[in-house]
Amino acid sequence: MGPMLTHAPTQRLLAGPPLDGRAESLAAHHRRLGPLPALPARQMVAALETTGLLGRGGAGFPVGRKWRAISERTENGTPVVVANGAEGEPESAKDRFLMTHRPHLIIDGAILAAGTLGADRVELYLGREHTSAVRAMRVAVSQRHVSEQKLLHVVEAPIGYVAGESTAVVHYVNSKDARPLMTPPRMSERGVRNRPTLVQNVESLAYSALIARYGPDWFRERGRGNNRGTALVTVAGPVRNEGVVEIDLGTPLAEVVELAGGLTGTPQAVLIGGYFGTWTRIDSAWNLPLDPESLKAAGLTLGCGLVRLLDARACGVDYSARIMAFLAAGSAMQCGPCRYGLADLASASGRVAAMSAGPDDLYHIDRWTGLVTGRGACRHPDGAAQQMSTAMTVFADDFASHAEHRRCLAGAHVGGVR
Amino acid sequence: MSDQPKLKLKVDWIACNGYGVCEASAPDLITLDDWGYPVLPDGPVPHGLVRQAENAINDCPMLALAWENKQAATGGRLGRLLGRGTARRPQDGGHR
């Protein structure tokens, strides 16, 4: 089976020309999808609410509710739309993949949002390090009509994990400082230039542009179980075709792995939702439907849609400690518990991973993950702690073996799991 | 006091520098974590400790501690008696 076929069953966002690294041109985009219909604002917001579409940036906030909050505001001036494409997750690729291949669908969504909310300005907030995505978006803007170009402003965000956090996005657009803000007023009230601001992930905007064309009933034709629609996920680890696939929400992990070409190794565990996400043993995750509700019921999160399988020969202690170190370095260093707590968590977990644990390291890791949670301006410490504490549970034997016997169990179970 | 809504404290984590003055001002209410930053009680401040909480709020050199429900605090009888309120506290704490 070729790589293209693996995407075939459920393409909506990824429908169209081959996904070969080249962007769909404006002409091809218009031939394929036709013009963006001009819907009355009320009808568009209602359509989004009917779909139940959830934001795809990680937090999963209902898109329709977000648009409604701004469409009903009359204070603080003309609204602003920010298309958030700053994908700070190192292993997630879905936003940059979509921007690289379907930039006009995203721009359609941003223009649609601006029209619906009465905004006179769209900021396309892109991660500077994703050069091919930035190039595709810039070219796409240049292909647009002059009247649309006046609306669209490309902002290249600095590299950094927290730069895509929504208060950091607004902070950067306003004052070139991509650090989160403490308890800002709601961005639907005051965001960019103190105006009502919609900060929406690029995948959510692209989907909105399809819903405007085909309607909420079309949206709800796909999806399994109670969940409607499709979503982009990034599959990483021992699979044939690592990368982005579009799935029906509610598709079990086992089938998602098949969409990525099937296993090439023996996974022991899976990290779902990104570096802020949750670890699960592969046997309890294998038949789990991937959708926000099912995952939440299992104590997990879909987050940014990362599905990171960890091979049985790899060390879960080491992997989670490396993520911890990455997230500690990625702290905006504004809030004490995040700045010092994540640094200590990274040091302690690093010692355990390197077989040089102190006698209290495991105890401290366990305690500190609780202690940093909920104690920052943004949820960076919460996410970092969640990754670490679920790793401590899933890799409990290995953490204990590392700390007490200075011995790594990686590979010891090969053959024992799927 | 009985008509007071539940009073909860909140920290502006960006403004807080971990000086620990709040712990000294409200020893029965606030402890410090391993890094010197305040750990607040879960839930509302017990009535008997509201004065300690007010002291901690007013003693914080970074203006990083405040009532979560500002209305409750500024309208509170105790706050008026003490001639203190939290109204002057900036929304953004010490952040530029």
Give the per-residue pLDDT at A185: 65
Give the per-residue pLDDT at B31: 97
Number of inter-chain CB pairs under 8 A, A vs B: 54
Which has the closest alpha carbon to A182: B18, B4, B14, B2? B14
Terminal-to-terminal C-alpha distance of chain A = 22
Residues of chain A whose C-beta is under 8 A from some C-beta in B? Answer: 175, 177, 181-185, 334-338, 340-341, 344, 368, 371, 375-377
Give the per-residue pLDDT at A96: 96
Q: Collect all residues of chain B within an 8 Å Cβ-Cβ radius of residue A336.
A: 13, 16-18, 35-37
Strand partners, A126: A85, A156
Nearest to B13 among A184, A185, A336 (CB): A336
* Dist CA A237 CA A270 (whole Å): 9
User: A336 — phi, psi (to 5°)?
Assistant: -55, -55
* Dist CA A298 CA A279 (whole Å): 11
Q: Give the pair of three-digit tokens for residue A26.
A: 């404006």
Which has the closest alpha carbon to A122: A102, A101, A144, A100? A144
User: A62 — phi, psi (to 5°)?
Assistant: -60, 125
Chain B CA closest to residue A375: B13
* Dist CA A197 CA A177 (whole Å): 17
Give the per-residue pLDDT at A4: 42
H-helix segments, A123-201: 131-143, 146-149, 166-175
Q: Do B14 and A375 make contact, defined as CB atoms within 8 angstroms?
A: no
Asked if residues A62 and A53 have their Cβ atoms less than 8 Å apart, the reply is yes
User: Which helix (H) or strand (E) element contains residue A387?
Assistant: helix A380-394
Give which of A175, A347, A375 to mutate to test B binding, by max B Cβ within 10 Å. Answer: A375
Give the per-residue pLDDT at A183: 59
Give me the residues of chain A with pLDDT under 50, please.
1-7, 415-418
Q: Dihedral of CA A42/A44/A45/A46: which sign?
A: positive
* Dist CA B60 CA B57 (whole Å): 6
- CA angle in degrees (0–180, nearest 5) for A348-A352-A355: 135
Q: Residue B86: pLDDT above 70?
A: no
Which has the closest alpha carbon to A56: A16, A80, A84, A81? A84
What ipTM does this complex have?
0.82
User: A247 — phi, psi (to 5°)?
Assistant: -120, 155
Residue A192 burial (10 A CB sphere; 0-12, 13-18, 19+)? buried
Distances, alpha carbon A122 to alpha carbons A113, A197, B25, in Å: 9, 10, 48
User: Predicted confidence band at B87 (pLDDT cuts at 50, 70, 90)?
Assistant: very low
Q: Do A182 and B33 make contact, defined as CB atoms within 8 angstroms?
A: no
Give which of B19, B31, B35, B62 to mutate to test A binding, by max A Cβ within 10 Å. Answer: B35
Least confident segment among A178-192, B16-30, B68-82: B68-82
Give the per-residue pLDDT at B5: 65
Residue A11 burial (CB count, 10 A): 13
Residue A271, SS3 per DSSP: strand
3-state secondary structure B65-81: EEECCHHHHHCCHHHHH
* Dist CA A91 CA A24 (whole Å): 24
H-helix segments, A220-302: 253-259, 282-285, 292-297
Q: Collect all residues of chain A within an 8 Å Cβ-Cβ radius of residue B9.
A: none
Give the per-residue pLDDT at A58: 83
Q: Collect all residues of chain B within an 8 Å Cβ-Cβ radius of residue A368.
A: 34
Q: Which long-range contacts (CB under 8 A, 24 or more apart) does A411-415 make?
A: A411/A312, A411/A313, A413/A268, A413/A312, A414/A266, A414/A312, A414/A313, A415/A266
Q: Do A368 and B34 make contact, defined as CB atoms within 8 angstroms?
A: yes
Residue A269, SS3 per DSSP: strand
Q: Collect all residues of chain A within an 8 Å Cβ-Cβ radius of residue B16.
A: 335-336
- Give CA A282 to chain center in angstroms: 21
Residue B31, SS3 per DSSP: strand
Residue A259 burial (CB count, 10 A): 21
* Dist CA A349 CA A353 (whole Å): 6
Distances, alpha carbon A120 to alpha carbons A114, A146, A188, in Å: 7, 14, 15
Chain A CA closest to residue B17: A336
Strands A152-157 and B65-67: unpaired
Q: Give the pair of three-digit tokens for residue A329.
A: 């370095």
Q: Residue B80: pLDDT above 50?
A: no
Residue A217, SS3 per DSSP: helix
Q: Collect all residues of chain B within an 8 Å Cβ-Cβ radius of residue A184.
A: 92
Give the per-residue pLDDT at A358: 95
The pTM for the full model equals: 0.87
User: Predicted confidence band at B4 (pLDDT cuts at 50, 70, 90)?
Assistant: low
Q: Residue B40: pLDDT above 90?
A: yes
* Dist CA A196 CA A186 (whole Å): 9
State mean pLDDT over B22-37.
97
